[in-house]
């Protein structure tokens, strides 16, 4: 992998990690085209490079949602103090912590599932169908009646439903953010709360997946010289992820994700056709 390919991959990953169009699907498409065109593998240690890209994207979440994360931290700390437990102002943040914990539990199953479906990223026809599935989910969510649930009124069953969808979204081509935002909207979440819940939920999910991939990555040989090529890609992932989050926040205020519906449907059909072109 050369420097420009690393940067391009970082741009692709950062832009698609949080926009509801599937980063795993786009990276799979890019990798398959690259390896078909060049006849060589994309990276000597793809697990390690993928870990670095996810870390770059995750830093963007911490910055974009730093106020919400700080409030969650204060709510968590208050659980261990007598005065804090009686503080009504901290109650919504403590309730949000509970909802996030409930929604994160299914990712234990998702982690096992991810190991089983990872090889499906080599099958572009499958990735294309999953992208079409993402488009259908967004289409349904776009037409759902606006909800009003927030951390104050959302139920444990709502959080569990969103968490189950996130666990299924480890399938390559099925957007994690698209699936969880759509699930939240279909559970009558306020659209901006559905977006916030999805992004906060991504933190433990990405951290857990990154840790597992890091263990696998270091079981292989990691060459220090690769950092010089990888790090510009990580920076590109961070910058594009940050602006992607800002774009999605703006679209959530308008309440519609229609552009992503048509993009996913078109990208899915093209990817299925591409599968038969490259084989």
Helical spans, DSSP H, in the chain: 3-18, 23-38, 46-64, 66-78, 82-85, 91-104, 107-117, 124-142, 156-168, 176-186, 191-219, 227-254, 258-278
Confidence of residue 79 (pLDDT cuts 50, 70, 90): confident
Instruction: Report residue 242 CA to chain centroid gap.
Output: 13
Task: Look at the chain and report how many structural domains it folds into.
Answer: 1
Q: Find the domain containing 245 and state its range.
A: 3-278
Cβ–Cβ < 8 Å for 163, 8: no
Distances from the Cα of 3 to the Cαs of 9, 55, 229, 237, in angstroms? 10, 19, 5, 14
pLDDT (average), residues 234-259: 87
Q: Number of helices (H) and strands (E), helices first, in the chain?
A: 13, 0
Tokens of 154: 């959302």
**How many C-beta atoms lie closer than 10 Å to residue 189's C-beta?**
27
Report the alpha-carbon distance of residue 28 to residue 258 in Å, rounded. 24
pLDDT for the residue 126: 94
Chain segment 95-108, per-residue pLDDT in tens: 999 999 999 999 88
Which of these, 44, 72, 57, 69, lies nearest to 17 by C-alpha position?
A: 57
Chain segment 211-244, per-residue pLDDT in tens: 777 776 666 666 666 777 888 999 999 999 999 9
Q: What percent of the chain has pLDDT over 90?
A: 44
Q: What percent of the chain has pLDDT over 70?
A: 90
3-state SS, residue 189: strand
Cβ–Cβ < 8 Å for 127, 263: no
3-state SS, residue 156: helix
pLDDT for the residue 76: 81
Confidence of residue 159 (pLDDT cuts 50, 70, 90): very high
pLDDT (average), residues 263-275: 94
Report the alpha-carbon distance of residue 238 to residue 231 in Å, rounded. 11
Report the alpha-carbon distance of residue 13 to residue 236 in Å, rounded. 9
**Start-to-end C-alpha separation, the chain:** 23
Across 74-83, 109-118, 153-162, 256-265, the highest mean pLDDT is recorded for 153-162
Report the alpha-carbon distance of residue 225 to residue 177 in Å, rounded. 33
pLDDT for the residue 91: 74
């Amino acid at each position: 992998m050369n420097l420009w390919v690393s940067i391009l991959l970082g741009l692709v990953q950062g832009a698609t990690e949080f926009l509801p169009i599937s980063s795993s699907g786009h990276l799979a498409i890019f990798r398959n085209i690259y390896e078909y065109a060049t006849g060589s593998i994309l990276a000597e240690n793809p697990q390690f490079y993928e870990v670095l890209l996810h870390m770059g994207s995750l830093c963007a979440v911490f910055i974009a949602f730093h106020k919400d994360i700080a409030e969650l931290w204060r709510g968590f700390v208050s659980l261990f103090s007598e005065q804090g437990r009686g503080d009504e102002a901290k109650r919504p943040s403590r309730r949000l912590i509970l909802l996030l914990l409930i929604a994160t539990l299914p990712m234990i199953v998702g982690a096992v599932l991810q190991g089983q479906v990872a090889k499906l990223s080599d099958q572009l026809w499958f990735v294309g169908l999953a992208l079409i599935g993402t488009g259908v989910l967004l289409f349904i969510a776009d037409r759902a009646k606006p909800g009003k649930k927030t951390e104050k009124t959302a139920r444990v069953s709502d959080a569990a439903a969103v968490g189950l969808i996130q666990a299924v979204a480890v399938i390559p081509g099925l957007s994690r953010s698209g699936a969880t935002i759509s699930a939240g909207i279909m559970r009558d979440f306020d659209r901006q709360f559905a977006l916030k819940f999805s992004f906060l939920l991504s933190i433990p999910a990405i951290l857990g997946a990154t840790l597992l991939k890091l263990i696998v990555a270091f079981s292989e040989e990691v060459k220090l010289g690769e950092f010089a090529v990888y790090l510009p890609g990580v920076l590109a992932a961070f910058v594009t992820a940050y602006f992607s989050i800002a774009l999605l926040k703006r679209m959530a205020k308008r309440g519609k994700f229609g552009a992503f519906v048509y993009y996913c449907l078109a990208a899915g059909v093209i990817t299925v056709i591409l599968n038969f072109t490259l084989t």
